[in-house]
Amino acid sequence: MENNKLLKCSLGIMAYNEEKNISKAIEAAISQKIISGIIQEIIVIASGCTDGTVNIVKNNFLPRHTYIKLLIQEKREGKASAINLFIKEAKGDILIVQNGDNIPLTNTFEFLIKPFLDPKIGMTGGHPIPVNPKNNFMGFVVHLQWQIHHNLNKESIKLGELIAFRNVVKKIPEDTAVDEISLEAEIKKQGLSLCYAPEALVTNKGPETIKDFLKQRRRIFTGHLQVKKSLNYEASSMNPYRAFRLTLKELSLKYSFWVFGAILLEILGRLLGMYDFYIKKKNPVIWDMIESTKQIN
């Protein structure tokens, strides 16, 4: 493909206290094999970090790679604020947002950006693969959750974890706790389409305890309710009947108790999210780190 036809991309890596994963995240980005585009710049947003994240980027990557930039937010203001800073600074036509604890496979970015050769496509999302072991209850629940997310995307797209979008969004609301859904709303408002890229694989780590799982799920559901109210946009995963039907499709005799346990946890997480939103009037823009999700091997 001629250079003038290559998709010009900027990558933003969002990091809050990611000293355990930031090197792997950046190395994975540097090692990408891309045909349809070119990564012109990698911008690491270090948001309120109190660990070694900033020093790792400064010492290990900035001296060796001139196209890597580090932007530091002294105070943690939420992921939406970090994304807005990235949008403001990025020069690419396509913007990729990667979490500091997500590791894309070698050809993931190619699959993620190739759909933008179609001018109707405004946003794409990758396919998260958890690294949790499957031989315990919480590992099973995390794998089931992302399998349902994968199946959901085949019916009604809901993007998350690793996303890319055209540089046509000036900013997203900084009071959103679910940045991907807010970006979906902005992209669709401009008449552009969403595209799920199932071959764009990215590894992540799910919660290892019931407490951490509920903490994560209630925060996400509260954020979805906030977006529904403020932007009049509903994530496809909000439909309880669709989620329940897709979950039952994964039912097997061997793991039936674990499946029903996962359903109960999801229901409880949603009820807690409703309690936070409607009763406590809470909007978790800045959420507590879930430590058990930060140990990616």
pLDDT digits (tens, 9 = 90+) for 55-103: 999 999 999 999 999 999 999 999 999 999 999 999 999 999 999 999 9
Phi, psi angle pair for 240, to nearest 5° = -65, -30
Q: Which pTM does this prediction carry?
A: 0.94
- Tokens 């039912």, residue located: 251
pLDDT digits (tens, 9 = 90+) for 226-260: 999 999 999 989 988 888 888 888 877 678 899 99
Cβ-based neighbour number of residue 57 at 10 Å = 26
Class of CATH domain 3-293: alpha beta
Query: In angstroms, rounded to a whole number, what is the distance separating the alpha carbons of residues 174 and 183?
Result: 12
Query: In angstroms, rounded to a whole number, what is the distance separating the alpha carbons of residues 12 and 43?
Result: 5
* The residue type at 97: V
